[in-house]
Amino acid sequence: MSHFDIPAGFRFAGLASGIKKSGKLDLALICSDQPAATAGVFTQNKVYAAPLQVTKPRIAGGVCQAVLINSGNANACTGEAGLQVAQQTSQLVAKQLNIDEELVALASTGVIGVQLPIIPFEQNMDKLVDALAEDRALVVAEAIMTTDAYSKVASARFSDGEKAYNILGLAKGAGMIHPNMATMLGFVLTDAAIDAQFLDSALRQAVKKSFNSITVDGDTSTNDTVLLLANGAAGGKKIEPGSEAAQAFVQHLERVLLDLAKMIVRDGEGATKLVEIKVQGAESEDAARTAAKSVATSSLVKTAFFGEDANWGRIISAVGYSGIDVDQNKIDIFFNQVAVTKDGLSTGPELEAEATEVLKLPEFTVTVELNQGDTCSSYYTSDLGYEYIKINADYRT
C-alpha cells in the first residue's frame, strides 16, 4: 500500500463468503477506530435497495464508524425479507465490533431482485472483523467489484500548514453508469477533523464535478452510494470552512473523486476509450453542462467513437437537441486540437482525416465552442461497442 496515502485510524478487511458463485471476494468491511463525521450521497432512482433504506437515515445523523459492503447481490427489490437481512447484517457487524448499530452503514452491489442470503454473513462476520488491518484497503477495493475489470483506488495528501492529512478513495463501477450517480459505490476516508456539515457541502460539490459528470450507458442504479468519513485520527486542529486548509481539502477531495470517476468510465463495460466532452463559450454553467451531457450520453456519438469515425454531425446534433439555446452558425468543434467544424460548417476532409487519427487514441477530448458566453463544463464518457452488449446480455447467467 506504499503508493497510496492511507488515513490514520482506519482498518480494512475483505474475504470470499460465498455470495458470488465464482468464489471471488465478495464481503468487505471498513472500520474507523473511533466514530467519524460522515456525509453521503445516494442514488436518485425512486427504486432503491434495502441497504440504502437502512443507511440513509443513519448517515443523516452525520456520524458513522463501520461500513459493511457486499458484492454479487444488490439486495434490491427484495421486499420486507431483504430489509430484514440488511438489518440483521448491520446487527452482526455492530455486535462483533461492540459498537452502536446506528454507527453501521451498509452498501450492496450486484444482481437486482434476488434475495440476499444471511448465512454468508453469519458464518464470516467474526473472520471479517478479525482480518481488519490498516494495510488491506486494496482487498476492500477488490471485494466490492462486480463487472469491473480492475479495482479503483485514489489518494491524496494535504496540509493545514502544521499537520499533514491523507484522503483515500475506493470505488467500484463499470456499467449502469449515469448520473445521478450510477451503479457505483464510493468510500472516501480522511484522518482530518472536519464536521459533518462541511463534509456534506464539500462532498456534494466534488460529486457534481466527478461522479455526476460521467456516463457509460445511461442507466442509473438502485444502489448508488458515496460515503465520506473524517475521523480526525491524524490529530491537529479542526478544519473550518473558509480556511486555507478547507480549500486544500476540497481541492484534493475533488481530485480523488475525479480520478476515481475517470477510472470508472475507462473501465466501462467493453469500453476502449475515455472521452472528455468539454462545452465552452456557454451563457451559463448549467447550459454548458446540459449540452455536454447531451453529447456524452448520445448512443450515436458513443458508437462513432467506438468506430473511430470523426462524425461531428452527431455531436452538433446532440448539442442542438440538448434543450439549450444555441446558434448553429457559431459552433466550433475540435477533436483534441483538430478543428473539424468552424461556424457550424465542415473544415474539410484533410482536417477530418487528422481528427480520425485522434479518435484512435485511448483518451482524447472533444471540445464544443458555442461562442455565446464565457462559461464551460465537462462530462466524461466512454465509447459503446460490441463487448458492452455481450457482457450485459449474459450478466445474470
The annotation places the binding site at: 146, 172, 183, 269, 392, 397
Query: What span, in angstroms and rounded, lies between the C-alpha atoms of 280 and 371?
Result: 8
The distance in angstroms from the start CA to the end CA of the chain is: 35
CB burial readout 284-296, b (16+ within 10 A) else e: eeebbbbbbbbbb
Contact 187, 231 (CB under 8 A): no
Lookup result for grid cell 473511533: 34
Please confirm, yes or no, whether 375 is among the known catalytic residues.
Answer: no
The annotation places the binding site for substrate at: 146, 172, 183, 269, 392, 397
Angle (CA) 18-23-29 rounded to 5° is: 60
- What is the sign, positive or negative, of the torsion defined by CA atoms of 238, 242, 245, 249? positive
Contact 322, 291 (CB under 8 A): yes
- Annotated active-site residue in 55, 78, 183, 290: 183
3-state secondary structure of 273: coil
Backbone angles phi, psi at 150, to 5 degrees: -155, 160
Q: Return the closest-CA partner of residue 121 out of 161, 169, 164, 72.
A: 72
Lookup result for grid cell 453501521: 104
Active site residues: 183
